[in-house]
Structure 1
Amino acid sequence: MKLLANKETPVKSLLRFICTGLLALCASHPAFALAPEPAPLPQPVTLTIGYVKVGHLAPMLSVADTLKKLNVIVKPVEFVRYADARTALLSGSVDIGAVGPGDLPIVLAQGNTNLVGLTGVAASSKYLVVRKGVQINDWKDIEGKRIGIAPGSAVWFQWAATLTEKGIPYKSFTAVNIQGGGTAFVQALKRGDIDAFLCWEPFESQVVSSGDGYFAKQIEYGHSKAVGAELGMLAATSTAMSTKREAIQRFLWAYLNAQDTLAKDPEAFAQAYSRYVGLPLDVTRPSVKLIQLGGVLDAAQIKAQATEFHKLGVIPKDVSGEVGKYYDDSLVKSLQRGGT
């Protein structure tokens, strides 16, 4: 019998199903309860917040209204890419914003210490998006293919680290550098300029939803040991951390509160995602199935990234010994109760 051949009894099958469901539930919701809403600040404080319109940052949508009640005035600044938000933070143009999960070692290797990481935002499996009509079913199939990349981006780091861990030569495919936001990747794929791309949501699901491409589920590159599955990081300037710390703490509470609400309700997440990025629900609904809201980034992962980035030649020196000092999750921990 088939069950005997697989050595799995009906009872074992049921237990496996239950355990899988429990693991999925744990991955979908934060492992902590958020502390009560903090008191309003005695005097108004303005926070300049840099944001990027990507799906996993949809909790940003309701932050301003919550902060208004807490006497924090939000001055929003939109950026197309994490790299642009990072530049604004380093120059002090914004107080707090969303950047790439690997940006700390990058800026530290450049000699800049004005960036302080606060928390991750979400995790996701990452699949190569392939143009319709092009067959990529296994890692060996990427050989000779034209793959669109954003050099130096968070997804590129994930891809490069995965290739290294799998022993796949980077030169086995043709890397096509694409500048600008995710729309440029979508257009390049539709024109046939590339066979596949490494990108981020909602642009991945946008291509799949329109029928112009598909997810190559055997080409998953989001869980390398060196880089990890984190999709982004909230960071502040060291100046803002010293002069506006209480306001930043209230921003984090507002963000985590919105994040927790959306993580518990996929449809609410899809609706907020749709409003945030301006895409229809037939794109955002499948996209939210790929994203687990709630940061998975920690100091150990950042140190591993620093080591790997140096090995890849992305940064000129290994800063893994000092990068942990610039990841300060104490504010987030102060807002948690029952954390583990």
Structure 2
Amino acid sequence: MIKKLVASLAALAMIFGLAACAGSGKTEVKVGWIPSVNFIAWISAVQALEESENIDIELVEFSSSSAALVALQQGAVDMTTTGYNVFADGLAQSDMPLSYISGISTSGAFFIARDDAEIEDWSDLEGKVLGGSRGSAEYLHMNNSMAANGVVLGEDAEYLNFQNGTDVMLALRNGDIDATVSYEPLISETIAAGGVDVVPALQEDLYSASFEVSSGLLASDSFVAENPEAVDEILSVYTGKVDELQQDPQPAVDIYLSYAAGDRDVISAAADRVTLTYELPTDEMLAIGTALTESGQHSEDIGPKLATHLDYSHLEAATGKSASELGASE
């Protein structure tokens, strides 16, 4: 049975103490996730793996990629969904024995504005108030795309910083800011409340000066090396779910809602906007490094180092595709 735990840094010690299922003959795997519609294929795979004859899977819930990364570093989980930019920030401080073994989602950010702000093009952002959470992927997309289109955030447009995405979207709904870049299900929740929508012209160029990939499945190198059969089975089930849900994500809505709170209509709308993937494109890792450097967040380009933390071997086995077909490049 999947044990769902809500993890915080204060609770990690408890997680460490959980014992393996003695005598079951199964490989115990602790996997993490962050409640986000971007991860509907992952949570669907975790549910399916409950029936595995070889794996005893335990699900640990995190509030952010940063918390998930800390848990993975400390051995509280064996693999978890994690934003690429968050791992890149960590690598800028020190190397880690962790690798992405699969992609999860891409193109997960959206440029959204209040209807009464009358924003239709980049030039309309001049003199407006934008909000975000500095250091997040959404902030990078907003800052870099605006600069590439001749509008400097903090100069041509006012910028207000918030602690998290929820606070940003509340400010948008209250009229404290005119526009922002955010993610699902916050986008669909805010659109459903009325008075805001995605701006097509801005959305089209949103990734032009940053990167499209959002998150991947990050795993402990030692766990992968010691449990190759378990990793193969997990990725086989997961990639199958991605292929299935790319055609129609709606069957995963009820599964998602069995693990996370949300309005069904909102989650359904969010699922239709999500772009699922298991590919690991090397060029996108390099683009992350470039974006972090150009934004001033990093002093050195971390992209090449990030690209060395992509492990295609088990993904190749699960999909029957070559590393180059999965995004690897020289």
Deviation at 1:302, TM superposition (A): 0.5
The counterpart of 2:163, out of the listed 179, 193, 196, is: 179
TM-score, length of structure 1 as denominator length: 0.78
Contact 1:302–1:323 at 8 Å: present in 2 too? Answer: yes
**Gaps (5+ residues) in structure 1?**
1-41
CA distance in 2, matches of 1:151, 1:297: 26
1:73 aligned onto 2:56: yes
Distance verdict in 2 for CA 1:61–1:119, change over 3 Å: closer
1:165 aligned onto 2:158: no
Bigger Rg, structure 1 or 2: 1
CA distance in 1, matches of 2:118, 2:56: 51
Contact 1:230–1:295 at 8 Å: present in 2 too? Answer: no
Distance verdict in 2 for CA 1:100–1:71, change over 3 Å: same
- What are the within-5 Å matches in structure 2 for residues 86-235 of structure 1? 86-124=69-107, 126-171=109-154, 172-180=156-164, 182-220=165-203, 224-225=207-208, 227-235=210-218
CA distance in 1, matches of 2:81, 2:227: 17
Tell me which residue corresponds to 2:320: 337
**Gaps (5+ residues) in structure 2?**
1-23, 326-330
Give CA deviations for 1:201-244 in whole Å, capped at 9, x if unaligned: 01101111121422122211675355332221111122323333
Contact 1:101–1:232 at 8 Å: present in 2 too? Answer: yes
Tell me which residue corresponds to 1:33: none
CA distance in 2, matches of 1:277, 1:93: 21
Contact 1:123–1:295 at 8 Å: present in 2 too? Answer: no
Contact 2:37–2:256 at 8 Å: present in 1 too? Answer: yes
Q: Quick one: which amino acid aligns to residue 46 of structure 2?
A: A
CA distance in 2, matches of 1:222, 1:199: 15
Contact 1:128–1:216 at 8 Å: present in 2 too? Answer: yes
Matched length: 298
Deviation at 1:325, TM superposition (A): 1.6
Per the alignment, in what secondary structure is the counterpart of residue 148 of structure 1?
strand
Deviation at 1:200, TM superposition (A): 0.7
Give me the CA root mean square deviation.
2.5
CA distance in 2, matches of 1:126, 1:222: 12
Contact 2:122–2:146 at 8 Å: present in 1 too? Answer: no
Deviation at 1:125, TM superposition (A): 6.4
Tell me which residue corresponds to 1:251: 234
Distance verdict in 2 for CA 1:222–1:98, change over 3 Å: farther
Per the alignment, in what secondary structure is the counterpart of residue 318 of structure 1?
coil
Structure with more relative contact order (C-alpha pairs < 8 Å, separation 6 or more): 1
Deviation at 1:99, TM superposition (A): 0.9
Tell me which residue corresponds to 1:319: 302
Q: Quick one: which amino acid aligns to residue 104 of structure 2?
A: V
Distance verdict in 2 for CA 1:263–1:334, change over 3 Å: same
More deviation, 52-61/190-199: 190-199
Tell me which residue corresponds to 2:44: 62
Contact 2:26–2:55 at 8 Å: present in 1 too? Answer: yes
TM-score, length of structure 2 as denominator length: 0.80
Tell me which residue corresponds to 1:24: none
Deviation at 1:177, TM superposition (A): 1.8
The counterpart of 2:219, out of the listed 226, 236, 240, is: 236
Per the alignment, in what secondary structure is the counterpart of residue 59 of structure 2?
strand
CA distance in 1, matches of 2:108, 2:87: 22
Contact 1:101–1:231 at 8 Å: present in 2 too? Answer: yes
More deviation, 198-207/233-242: 233-242
